[in-house]
Structure 1
Amino acid sequence: MIYIKASTPSPGAAAWFAGVVLVLALVAGGVAYAQEPQRLPTVTLRAGMHNIVAMVARTPEQRAVGLMHRREMATHEGMLFVFEQPAVQCFWMKNTLLPLSIAFIADDGTIVNLADMQPQSLDSHCSSKPVRYALEMNQGWFARRAVGPGFRLAGGPFGN
């Protein structure tokens, strides 16, 4: 049997302990909030006769969260990632529950390359050359519509 001697904490120790409890409560609350899918303004894009309603992730914070924690997404919905400068863009699927396909897109709307990404994976999927845009859709969306490299999207930042 183990006996523990209890004593009254000093005022400084009690304040420190209360601070730790408060920080833990705030962190736990933040984690619960962060697990909600983000809702962002949308733009309508077109791939030939197919309309896409894409949430637009413009800030580093919005891009970092992306489609994380989303359990479902309508067929015509996706997320357009907008970067400040053209660069080789790489994506992974940590905390992303849906299988997705990603199109890396040049400034004029031309798809540079595509990749299929598996849920909850840390595998990196990168553009084959510098781009400012990436579009995530449900996995297989591009293939089912014969949309591939060289295809030009319209609408939003890509014009008519």
Structure 2
Amino acid sequence: MNRLFLVFFLSLNLGCGNSQPPQPQPSLNPWEQAFYKGENPQRPEIIALGIGAATIEVEVAGDEYGKQLGLMFRKEMPADAGMWFAFPETDFRRFWMQNTFIPLSIAYVDEGGVITNIEDMIPLDESPVRSKRKARYALEMNRGWFKKKGIKPEDRIRIGQLKPNPAYIPPD
């Protein structure tokens, strides 16, 4: 009797289930997840920076997750593109290239906007690349960008206004 009840209960339960097959969920890589909340993309802000004669607009790693993710998972980046990291306090900094496929150079910047040091970073290398002095900011650009533009330590970065990034397209 108990078996008959169990068979009846299971068949009833299975028969009343959802007739629709489960819908596949879109998969987002971690970089995309940093900027998507539900169905509304959160476009990273951009900031205008002046360094010597160069003026650039770069993405801002706005929140803690964005700072941790940085430029990970990207396959390419336009020549004058980059990412600006702003921290709430001045301290010794270190970055690494985990899951970062493009070669980068990083400039560590103190509270007054002065570049403390510029270092080249190797794709996928998890060794820390450290600031030589305390830094409040960091700017990642394509490797060699600073050298090509004649930018060196002790140069000052002029920080402009934040604005939405109208050209933002999430990576594939």
Does the CA contact (< 8 Å) of 1:68 and 1:95 recur in 2?
yes
2:109 matched residue in structure 1: 105
C-alpha deviation, 1:35, in angstroms: 5.0
Segments of structure 2 that go 5 or more residues without pairing to the other structure are 1-6, 11-23, 36-42, 162-172
**d(CA) in 1 for partners of 2:77, 2:56:** 12
How many residue pairs get aligned? The number is 132
Counterpart pick for 1:141 among 141, 145, 155: 145
Coordinate RMSD, CA, aligned: 2.3
1:83 matched residue in structure 2: 87
Structure showing greater radius of gyration is: 2
Verify: 1:116 aligned to 2:130, yes or no: no
Paired residue type of 1:91: F
Does the CA contact (< 8 Å) of 1:58 and 1:83 recur in 2?
no
**d(CA) in 1 for partners of 2:57, 2:124:** 24
Where 1:61 maps in the other structure, the secondary structure is helix
1:59 matched residue in structure 2: 63
Does the CA contact (< 8 Å) of 1:51 and 1:76 recur in 2?
no
Superposition misfits of 4+ residues, deviation over 2 angstroms: 35-39
* Alignment CA distance shift 1:71-1:85 (3 Å): same
* Alignment CA distance shift 1:49-1:84 (3 Å): same
Q: What are the equivalent positions in structure 2 for 1:1-160 lying under 5 Å apart?
A: 29=27, 32-36=28-32, 39-156=43-160
Q: Which has the higher contact order (CA 8 A, sep 6+)?
A: 2
Q: TM-score of the superposition, structure 2-length normalised?
A: 0.70
| Higher helix fraction (1 or 2) | 1
C-alpha deviation, 1:50, in angstroms: 1.1
**d(CA) in 1 for partners of 2:29, 2:62:** 20
Q: TM-score of the superposition, structure 1-length normalised?
A: 0.75
| Higher strand fraction (1 or 2) | 2
Segments of structure 1 that go 5 or more residues without pairing to the other structure are 1-7, 12-24
Where 1:63 maps in the other structure, the secondary structure is helix
Where 1:154 maps in the other structure, the secondary structure is strand
Residues 21-80 of structure 1, C-alpha deviation per residue, up to 9 Å, x if partnerless? xxxx98x94xx4325485510001011221111111132101000001111111111100
**d(CA) in 1 for partners of 2:61, 2:141:** 14
1:17 matched residue in structure 2: none
C-alpha deviation, 1:94, in angstroms: 0.5
Identity of aligned residues (%): 36
